[in-house]
Structure 1
Amino acid sequence: MFDYAMEHICSYSATLQSPFEGIGETPLGLRVNAYVSGGEVSGPRLRGRVLPVGGDWLTIRRDGMGMLDVRATMETHDGALIDVQYQGLMDLGADGYARMLAGDPPVRAAIRAVPRLVCAHPDYLWLNRLQCLNIGEVDFATATVAYDMYALR
Protein backbone atom coordinates (compact mmCIF):
# COMPACT_ATOMS: atom_id res chain seq x y z
CA MET A 1 0.00 0.00 0.00
CA PHE A 2 1.24 3.49 -0.82
CA ASP A 3 1.36 6.26 1.75
CA TYR A 4 -0.71 9.38 1.22
CA ALA A 5 -2.13 12.28 3.17
CA MET A 6 -4.81 14.86 2.52
CA GLU A 7 -4.29 18.53 3.34
CA HIS A 8 -7.24 20.91 3.55
CA ILE A 9 -6.53 23.73 1.07
CA CYS A 10 -9.78 25.68 1.27
CA SER A 11 -13.54 25.61 1.38
CA TYR A 12 -15.48 27.44 -1.27
CA SER A 13 -19.01 28.09 -2.34
CA ALA A 14 -20.52 29.51 -5.49
CA THR A 15 -23.91 30.72 -6.60
CA LEU A 16 -25.16 29.46 -9.94
CA GLN A 17 -27.33 31.41 -12.35
CA SER A 18 -30.88 30.17 -12.16
CA PRO A 19 -32.62 28.71 -14.01
CA PHE A 20 -30.01 26.38 -15.42
CA GLU A 21 -29.66 26.10 -19.18
CA GLY A 22 -31.28 22.86 -20.32
CA ILE A 23 -29.78 21.55 -23.55
CA GLY A 24 -31.98 18.45 -23.40
CA GLU A 25 -31.68 14.74 -24.02
CA THR A 26 -28.69 13.82 -26.14
CA PRO A 27 -27.09 10.50 -27.12
CA LEU A 28 -24.70 11.03 -24.18
CA GLY A 29 -27.41 11.81 -21.61
CA LEU A 30 -29.35 14.81 -20.37
CA ARG A 31 -27.25 17.96 -20.83
CA VAL A 32 -27.63 20.87 -18.40
CA ASN A 33 -25.37 23.92 -18.16
CA ALA A 34 -25.03 25.88 -14.91
CA TYR A 35 -23.09 29.15 -15.03
CA VAL A 36 -21.23 30.63 -12.05
CA SER A 37 -22.33 34.06 -10.83
CA GLY A 38 -19.72 34.34 -8.05
CA GLY A 39 -18.63 32.92 -4.71
CA GLU A 40 -16.27 32.93 -1.75
CA VAL A 41 -13.04 31.04 -0.96
CA SER A 42 -11.73 30.64 2.60
CA GLY A 43 -9.23 28.34 4.18
CA PRO A 44 -5.76 27.71 5.50
CA ARG A 45 -3.99 27.94 2.12
CA LEU A 46 -6.33 29.99 -0.13
CA ARG A 47 -8.60 32.97 0.49
CA GLY A 48 -10.48 35.05 -2.03
CA ARG A 49 -13.45 34.74 -4.32
CA VAL A 50 -14.87 32.74 -7.18
CA LEU A 51 -15.23 35.08 -10.15
CA PRO A 52 -18.52 35.31 -12.08
CA VAL A 53 -17.20 33.33 -15.05
CA GLY A 54 -17.25 29.66 -15.96
CA GLY A 55 -19.68 26.96 -15.07
CA ASP A 56 -20.55 23.29 -15.10
CA TRP A 57 -21.38 21.54 -18.36
CA LEU A 58 -23.24 18.67 -16.71
CA THR A 59 -24.22 15.40 -18.37
CA ILE A 60 -26.75 13.32 -16.44
CA ARG A 61 -26.69 9.60 -17.12
CA ARG A 62 -29.84 7.47 -17.10
CA ASP A 63 -28.71 5.89 -13.81
CA GLY A 64 -29.01 9.28 -12.08
CA MET A 65 -25.31 10.06 -11.91
CA GLY A 66 -24.23 13.48 -13.11
CA MET A 67 -20.85 13.78 -14.80
CA LEU A 68 -19.32 17.17 -13.99
CA ASP A 69 -17.22 19.20 -16.40
CA VAL A 70 -16.39 22.39 -14.48
CA ARG A 71 -14.26 25.40 -15.30
CA ALA A 72 -13.97 28.41 -13.03
CA THR A 73 -11.58 31.18 -12.02
CA MET A 74 -10.65 32.02 -8.45
CA GLU A 75 -9.03 35.29 -7.43
CA THR A 76 -6.99 35.24 -4.22
CA HIS A 77 -7.18 37.96 -1.58
CA ASP A 78 -3.94 39.41 -3.01
CA GLY A 79 -5.02 39.41 -6.66
CA ALA A 80 -3.65 36.14 -8.10
CA LEU A 81 -5.87 34.42 -10.67
CA ILE A 82 -6.25 30.64 -10.48
CA ASP A 83 -7.68 28.54 -13.30
CA VAL A 84 -9.74 25.71 -11.79
CA GLN A 85 -10.88 22.73 -13.86
CA TYR A 86 -12.38 19.50 -12.68
CA GLN A 87 -14.41 16.46 -13.49
CA GLY A 88 -16.36 14.40 -11.04
CA LEU A 89 -19.63 12.75 -10.14
CA MET A 90 -22.87 14.07 -8.67
CA ASP A 91 -25.28 11.50 -7.22
CA LEU A 92 -28.83 12.57 -8.06
CA GLY A 93 -30.34 9.26 -6.93
CA ALA A 94 -31.66 6.35 -8.98
CA ASP A 95 -34.54 8.52 -10.26
CA GLY A 96 -32.32 11.56 -10.85
CA TYR A 97 -32.50 11.44 -14.64
CA ALA A 98 -36.30 11.40 -14.69
CA ARG A 99 -36.53 14.08 -11.99
CA MET A 100 -34.12 16.41 -13.78
CA LEU A 101 -35.92 15.82 -17.08
CA ALA A 102 -39.22 16.75 -15.37
CA GLY A 103 -37.67 19.89 -13.83
CA ASP A 104 -37.96 18.46 -10.29
CA PRO A 105 -34.37 17.94 -9.06
CA PRO A 106 -33.64 16.62 -5.57
CA VAL A 107 -33.08 19.36 -3.00
CA ARG A 108 -29.42 18.38 -2.56
CA ALA A 109 -26.94 16.04 -4.23
CA ALA A 110 -23.50 14.87 -3.11
CA ILE A 111 -20.51 15.71 -5.30
CA ARG A 112 -17.03 14.17 -5.51
CA ALA A 113 -14.57 15.74 -7.94
CA VAL A 114 -10.86 15.94 -8.77
CA PRO A 115 -9.79 19.55 -9.45
CA ARG A 116 -6.55 20.73 -10.98
CA LEU A 117 -5.42 24.29 -10.33
CA VAL A 118 -3.16 26.36 -12.58
CA CYS A 119 -1.64 29.70 -11.60
CA ALA A 120 1.13 31.93 -13.00
CA HIS A 121 1.54 34.14 -9.90
CA PRO A 122 4.92 33.44 -8.22
CA ASP A 123 3.37 33.15 -4.75
CA TYR A 124 1.04 30.39 -5.90
CA LEU A 125 3.21 28.25 -8.19
CA TRP A 126 2.85 25.42 -5.64
CA LEU A 127 -0.76 25.00 -6.83
CA ASN A 128 0.48 23.73 -10.21
CA ARG A 129 1.93 20.64 -8.50
CA LEU A 130 -1.27 19.51 -6.77
CA GLN A 131 -3.88 16.89 -7.45
CA CYS A 132 -6.88 17.79 -5.35
CA LEU A 133 -10.09 16.16 -4.18
CA ASN A 134 -13.35 18.05 -3.71
CA ILE A 135 -16.00 16.82 -1.29
CA GLY A 136 -19.19 18.82 -1.62
CA GLU A 137 -22.81 19.18 -2.54
CA VAL A 138 -25.17 21.14 -4.71
CA ASP A 139 -28.30 22.72 -3.26
CA PHE A 140 -30.79 22.97 -6.11
CA ALA A 141 -33.25 24.98 -4.01
CA THR A 142 -30.76 27.85 -3.60
CA ALA A 143 -28.71 27.21 -6.77
CA THR A 144 -25.48 26.97 -4.76
CA VAL A 145 -22.56 24.57 -4.56
CA ALA A 146 -20.18 24.17 -1.64
CA TYR A 147 -16.92 22.23 -1.46
CA ASP A 148 -14.06 21.35 0.82
CA MET A 149 -10.90 21.04 -1.29
CA TYR A 150 -8.02 18.79 -0.23
CA ALA A 151 -4.58 18.31 -1.73
CA LEU A 152 -3.64 14.68 -2.10
CA ARG A 153 -0.07 14.29 -0.85
Structure 2
Amino acid sequence: MTPELHTKYVFTITARIAEVTSAGDIGTGIRRIIPIVGGEVKGEGINGKVLPFGADFQIIRPSELIELEAKYAFETDDGAVVYVENKGIRFGPVDLLEKLKRGEPVDPKLIYFRTMPRFETGAEKYRWLMEHIFIGSAARHADRVVIDVHQVL
Protein backbone atom coordinates (compact mmCIF):
# COMPACT_ATOMS: atom_id res chain seq x y z
CA MET A 1 0.00 0.00 0.00
CA THR A 2 1.30 3.43 -0.93
CA PRO A 3 1.29 6.00 1.88
CA GLU A 4 -0.96 8.99 1.35
CA LEU A 5 0.43 12.50 1.08
CA HIS A 6 -1.12 15.26 3.13
CA THR A 7 -0.41 18.95 3.32
CA LYS A 8 -0.85 21.59 5.98
CA TYR A 9 -1.19 25.35 5.34
CA VAL A 10 1.64 27.22 7.11
CA PHE A 11 1.80 30.82 5.85
CA THR A 12 1.12 33.26 3.02
CA ILE A 13 3.79 35.24 1.20
CA THR A 14 2.61 38.43 -0.47
CA ALA A 15 5.41 39.70 -2.72
CA ARG A 16 4.99 43.19 -4.13
CA ILE A 17 6.37 43.46 -7.65
CA ALA A 18 7.58 46.25 -9.94
CA GLU A 19 7.42 46.70 -13.71
CA VAL A 20 8.35 43.78 -15.94
CA THR A 21 11.62 43.94 -17.88
CA SER A 22 11.83 41.75 -20.97
CA ALA A 23 15.03 40.42 -22.51
CA GLY A 24 12.97 39.41 -25.55
CA ASP A 25 12.70 36.13 -27.43
CA ILE A 26 15.62 33.91 -26.42
CA GLY A 27 14.75 31.14 -28.85
CA THR A 28 12.89 28.98 -26.34
CA GLY A 29 10.45 31.66 -25.26
CA ILE A 30 10.29 35.23 -23.94
CA ARG A 31 12.59 35.94 -20.97
CA ARG A 32 11.02 38.30 -18.41
CA ILE A 33 12.45 39.67 -15.17
CA ILE A 34 10.09 41.01 -12.51
CA PRO A 35 11.67 42.81 -9.52
CA ILE A 36 10.40 41.94 -6.04
CA VAL A 37 10.21 45.18 -4.04
CA GLY A 38 8.73 44.18 -0.67
CA GLY A 39 5.73 42.52 0.87
CA GLU A 40 4.81 40.46 3.90
CA VAL A 41 4.72 36.96 5.34
CA LYS A 42 1.79 36.01 7.57
CA GLY A 43 0.98 32.76 9.25
CA GLU A 44 0.70 30.89 12.50
CA GLY A 45 4.10 31.08 14.13
CA ILE A 46 5.86 32.94 11.33
CA ASN A 47 5.38 36.57 10.34
CA GLY A 48 7.61 39.13 8.73
CA LYS A 49 8.39 41.28 5.73
CA VAL A 50 9.62 40.45 2.24
CA LEU A 51 12.88 42.30 1.74
CA PRO A 52 13.05 44.82 -1.14
CA PHE A 53 15.38 42.90 -3.44
CA GLY A 54 15.24 39.81 -5.61
CA ALA A 55 13.26 39.00 -8.72
CA ASP A 56 11.15 36.47 -10.54
CA PHE A 57 12.93 35.21 -13.67
CA GLN A 58 10.38 33.85 -16.13
CA ILE A 59 10.28 32.22 -19.53
CA ILE A 60 7.00 32.43 -21.41
CA ARG A 61 6.90 29.43 -23.72
CA PRO A 62 5.15 29.66 -27.12
CA SER A 63 2.15 27.78 -25.64
CA GLU A 64 1.88 30.53 -22.95
CA LEU A 65 3.10 28.08 -20.33
CA ILE A 66 5.08 30.30 -17.96
CA GLU A 67 8.06 28.84 -16.10
CA LEU A 68 8.95 30.85 -12.99
CA GLU A 69 12.03 31.01 -10.81
CA ALA A 70 11.92 33.60 -8.05
CA LYS A 71 14.81 34.35 -5.70
CA TYR A 72 14.34 36.69 -2.75
CA ALA A 73 14.35 36.80 1.06
CA PHE A 74 12.15 37.71 3.98
CA GLU A 75 12.91 38.82 7.52
CA THR A 76 10.79 37.46 10.36
CA ASP A 77 9.41 39.73 13.07
CA ASP A 78 12.05 38.33 15.43
CA GLY A 79 14.95 39.18 13.09
CA ALA A 80 15.69 35.92 11.23
CA VAL A 81 16.49 36.20 7.53
CA VAL A 82 15.10 33.45 5.29
CA TYR A 83 16.28 33.03 1.69
CA VAL A 84 13.60 31.79 -0.73
CA GLU A 85 14.06 30.04 -4.05
CA ASN A 86 10.66 29.40 -5.58
CA LYS A 87 10.21 27.54 -8.88
CA GLY A 88 6.89 26.84 -10.52
CA ILE A 89 4.55 27.15 -13.47
CA ARG A 90 1.57 29.27 -14.42
CA PHE A 91 -0.82 28.20 -17.15
CA GLY A 92 -4.35 28.88 -18.27
CA PRO A 93 -6.48 30.10 -21.15
CA VAL A 94 -4.43 32.40 -23.41
CA ASP A 95 -6.95 35.27 -23.22
CA LEU A 96 -6.77 35.28 -19.41
CA LEU A 97 -2.96 35.12 -19.40
CA GLU A 98 -2.90 38.09 -21.79
CA LYS A 99 -5.15 40.01 -19.36
CA LEU A 100 -2.71 39.22 -16.51
CA LYS A 101 0.21 40.49 -18.63
CA ARG A 102 -1.67 43.77 -19.13
CA GLY A 103 -2.23 44.04 -15.36
CA GLU A 104 -5.97 43.40 -15.60
CA PRO A 105 -7.72 41.39 -12.87
CA VAL A 106 -8.36 37.67 -13.46
CA ASP A 107 -10.06 35.23 -11.10
CA PRO A 108 -7.12 33.20 -9.65
CA LYS A 109 -9.25 30.03 -9.72
CA LEU A 110 -9.09 30.12 -13.54
CA ILE A 111 -5.27 30.01 -13.69
CA TYR A 112 -3.12 27.05 -12.67
CA PHE A 113 -0.24 28.60 -10.66
CA ARG A 114 1.76 26.24 -8.45
CA THR A 115 5.24 26.56 -6.98
CA MET A 116 7.84 24.60 -5.03
CA PRO A 117 9.46 26.98 -2.54
CA ARG A 118 12.74 26.06 -0.84
CA PHE A 119 13.99 27.95 2.18
CA GLU A 120 17.42 28.54 3.74
CA THR A 121 18.21 30.13 7.09
CA GLY A 122 20.77 29.91 9.85
CA ALA A 123 18.13 30.71 12.49
CA GLU A 124 17.56 27.65 14.67
CA LYS A 125 13.91 28.53 15.28
CA TYR A 126 13.16 28.32 11.53
CA ARG A 127 15.37 25.38 10.55
CA TRP A 128 12.19 23.34 10.07
CA LEU A 129 11.76 25.29 6.84
CA MET A 130 14.86 23.52 5.47
CA GLU A 131 13.77 20.12 6.77
CA HIS A 132 10.48 19.81 4.91
CA ILE A 133 9.06 19.97 1.40
CA PHE A 134 6.60 22.77 0.60
CA ILE A 135 4.23 23.54 -2.23
CA GLY A 136 2.59 26.84 -3.04
CA SER A 137 -0.73 27.76 -4.55
CA ALA A 138 -0.35 31.23 -6.01
CA ALA A 139 -2.27 34.10 -7.58
CA ARG A 140 -0.85 36.91 -9.72
CA HIS A 141 -2.28 40.40 -9.32
CA ALA A 142 -1.20 43.62 -11.05
CA ASP A 143 1.15 44.72 -8.24
CA ARG A 144 1.76 41.53 -6.23
CA VAL A 145 1.91 37.76 -6.14
CA VAL A 146 0.18 35.96 -3.27
CA ILE A 147 1.47 32.48 -2.41
CA ASP A 148 -0.24 30.20 0.11
CA VAL A 149 2.53 27.90 1.32
CA HIS A 150 1.67 24.35 2.39
CA GLN A 151 3.95 21.87 4.13
CA VAL A 152 3.94 18.34 2.72
CA LEU A 153 3.51 15.96 5.66
Same fold (TM over 0.5): yes
- Report the Cα distance in structure 2 between the residues aligned to 1:69 and 1:17, rounded to whole angstroms: 16
Residue 72 of structure 1: how far off its partner (Å): 1.1
1:128 and 2:126 matched = no
- Report the Cα distance in structure 2 between the residues aligned to 1:28 and 1:63, rounded to whole angstroms: 11
Given the alignment, which residue of 92, 105, 108 partners 1:107? 105
CA contact (8 A) 1:96 1:105 kept: no
Kindly tell me: are residues 39 and 104 of structure 1, through their superposed partners in 2, closer, same or farther at Cα, counting changes over 3 Å?
Answer: closer
Of 32-41 and 108-117, the range deviating more from structure 2: 108-117
- Report the Cα distance in structure 2 between the residues aligned to 1:143 and 1:59, rounded to whole angstroms: 19
Equivalent position of 2:47 in the other structure: 47
1:2 is matched by which residue type in structure 2?
A: P
The 4+ residue runs of structure 1 with deviation greater than 4 A are none
| Percentage of matched positions with identical amino acids | 23
The SS at the match of 2:52 is coil
Q: CA RMSD in A?
A: 1.9
- Report the Cα distance in structure 2 between the residues aligned to 1:22 and 1:94, rounded to whole angstroms: 19
The SS at the match of 2:130 is helix
CA contact (8 A) 1:91 1:111 kept: yes
Provide structure 1 residue ranges, at least 5 long, that are not aligned to the other structure.
none
1:15 is matched by which residue type in structure 2?
A: R
- Report the Cα distance in structure 1 between the residues aligned to 2:132 and 2:84, rounded to whole angstroms: 12
- Report the Cα distance in structure 2 between the residues aligned to 1:64 and 1:45, rounded to whole angstroms: 37
Of 104-113 and 120-129, the range deviating more from structure 2: 104-113
Given the alignment, which residue of 115, 118, 130 partners 1:116? 118
Residue 136 of structure 1: how far off its partner (Å): 1.1
Question: How does the TM-score come out when normalised to structure 2?
Answer: 0.87
The SS at the match of 1:52 is strand
Equivalent position of 2:68 in the other structure: 68
Question: How does the TM-score come out when normalised to structure 1?
Answer: 0.87
